[in-house]
Amino acid sequence: MPQTCKALPDLTVANCETLVWGRRTYVMGIINVTPDSFSGDGLGSDIPAIVEQALRFQAEGADFLDVGAESSRPGHESISLDEELRRLISPLEAIAAQVNIPISVDTYKPLVARQALDAGATILNDIWGLKPDPNLAEVAAEWGAPLILMHNQKTRQYNDLLPDIFASLNRSVELALGAGVAKENIILDPGFGFGKTPDHNLEVLHRLSEFKSLGYPLLMGTSRKSTIGLVLDLPVAERIHGTAATVALSVAGGADVVRAHDVKEMVQACRMTDAIVRGWRPSGWKQ
């Protein structure tokens, strides 16, 4: 079986389906427990609202949830370890007690990752690809947790866009493997919207299929991003159709997971595109 068709038997997703890369595209619902999300959907410390959103996303077909307590919007300010834990752990415990799909935690801090796994998370999502603190990989290895490694950088300067991103992602993979993370537990994210100009973002999406050469499942996070707003001249709240276009093209380009604020709509976009490009069919399909 090729790498992208391997099952992860310890992870079941929507409808208790075993996660199998290559079968269809999986949808990760974004839950921001922040007061300052770029998308305007930060829920802060309102735990009932957070749990309600998690249950709604699960009902709408999300395969994973991705919970983040530190904003990554342009111009954001980093928060302390203690503040991230204060924002994150209680909501995470509340979500984990109510849903039956895997929960990812968006953090690059090893101590936050460890406590998040204790609180019910099963996946770690590092938007800096282990560059700030490679010890996060040791936590993932210890727990046997899947690890998402995203490309990111502080500038938007490149010698050659895709080769530079590939080199950075390969370095992140080396750090993860060196810490004992199993190869089958690594997922790569090209970092749409991070350390890139709008033209860079569009080129990454246009050439997404080239990232399959790296040999790992791919996650794409285009949801409501500013590049969509610039192309369509629309505010965040009106970018759902533009997002759906980028999601469909992500699937066609080989994405295995997409992150979404608008789960119901992006599940539909993924299923329709999967039916065309991956041969996926719903249960009970009749000719």
The catalytic site residues sit at: 225, 259
CB 195 within 8 A of CB 150: no
CB 189 within 8 A of CB 219: yes
Give the DSSP per-residue string, 12-77.
Answer: E-GGGPEEETTTS-EEEEEEE-SS--TTS---TT-HHHHHHHHHHHHHTT-SEEEEESS--STT--
Q: Cα(261)–Cα(265) distance, rounded to whole angstroms?
A: 9
Sorted by sequence, the CB contacts under 8 Å of residue 187 that are 6+ apart come out as: 146, 147, 148, 149, 216, 217, 218, 219, 256, 257
| Structure-block tokens of residue 155 | 């500038």
